Amino acid sequence: MSIIVTGGAGFIGSCIVRELNDRGIEDIIVVDHIAQTDKWMNLRNKRYIKYINRDEFLQQLPSFAGTVSHIIHMGACSSTTERDFDFLYKNNLEYTQTLWEFCAENQISFIYASSAATYGDGTQGFDDKEDIRRLRPLNGYGYSKQLFDLWAEKQTVRPKQHVGFKFFNVYGPNEYFKGSMASVILHSFHKITETGEMGLFKSYKKEYPDGGQLRDFVYVKDICKVILYMMDNPQISGLFNLGTGKARSFYDLAAATFRAMGLEPNIKYIEMPETLRPKYQYYTQAAMNKLREAGYRENFYSLEEGVQDYVCGYLAKDCAIY
Q: What percent of the chain has pLDDT over 70?
A: 100
**CA angle 283-75-296, nearest 5°?**
60
Average pLDDT over the chain, rounded to whole? 96
Compute the distance between CA of residue 162 and CA of residue 110 in angstroms, rounded to an integer.
5
Dihedral of CA atoms 128, 134, 138, 142 in degrees, nearest 10, equals 50
Say if residue 287's pLDDT is above 90: yes
Place 19 in a pLDDT band, splitting at 50, 70 and 90: very high
Which of 95, 112, 119, 141 is flagged as catalytic?
141
Q: What is the structure's pLDDT at 278?
A: 83
For 25-69, what is each residue's pLDDT tens digit?
999 999 999 999 999 999 999 999 999 999 999 999 999 999 999
* Residues 6 or more apart whose Cβ sits within 8 Å of residue 22: none
**CA angle 297-303-176, nearest 5°?**
105
DSSP code of residue 90: I
Place 251 in a pLDDT band, splitting at 50, 70 and 90: very high
Region 86-108: what's the mean pLDDT? 96
Compute the distance between CA of residue 310 and CA of residue 322 in angstroms, rounded to an integer.
10
Place 218 in a pLDDT band, splitting at 50, 70 and 90: very high
Nearest to 71 by CA among 83, 80, 84, 58: 58
Say if residue 196's pLDDT is above 90: yes
Place 277 in a pLDDT band, splitting at 50, 70 and 90: confident
Say if residue 320's pLDDT is above 90: yes
Say if residue 116's pLDDT is above 90: yes
Q: What is the structure's pLDDT at 23?
A: 97
Q: What is the structure's pLDDT at 188?
A: 95
Q: What is the structure's pLDDT at 135?
A: 95
Q: What is the structure's pLDDT at 290?
A: 98
Q: What is the structure's pLDDT at 79?
A: 81
Compute the distance between CA of residue 162 and CA of residue 146 in angstroms, rounded to an integer.
16
Q: What is the structure's pLDDT at 82?
A: 86
Cα–Cα distances in angstroms (integers) from residue 225 to residues 31, 69, 131, 134, in the given order? 21, 18, 27, 30
Domain limits, the chain: 2-171+217-244+285-300
Q: Is the pTM of this model over 0.75?
A: yes
Q: What is the structure's pLDDT at 80?
A: 82
Region 228-239: what's the mean pLDDT? 98
Residue 299 in contact with residue 174, Cβ under 8 Å? no
Q: What is the structure's pLDDT at 281?
A: 87
- Active-site residue 141, yes or no? yes
Say if residue 225's pLDDT is above 90: yes
According to DSSP, the residues that pair with 165 across neighbouring strands are: 113, 240
Q: What is the structure's pLDDT at 1?
A: 82
CATH architecture of 2-171+217-244+285-300: 3-Layer(aba) Sandwich (3.40)
Which of 51, 89, 160, 178 is flagged as catalytic?
178
Dihedral of CA atoms 206, 207, 208, 214 in degrees, nearest 10, equals -150
Region 150-157: what's the mean pLDDT? 96
* Residues 6 or more apart whose Cβ sits within 8 Å of residue 299: none
Number of H helices, E strands in the chain: 10, 13
> Residue 278: helix, strand or coil by DSSP?
helix
Q: What is the structure's pLDDT at 78?
A: 83
Q: What is the structure's pLDDT at 279?
A: 79
User: Which sign, positive or negative, has the C-alpha torsion 288, 291, 164, 4?
Assistant: positive
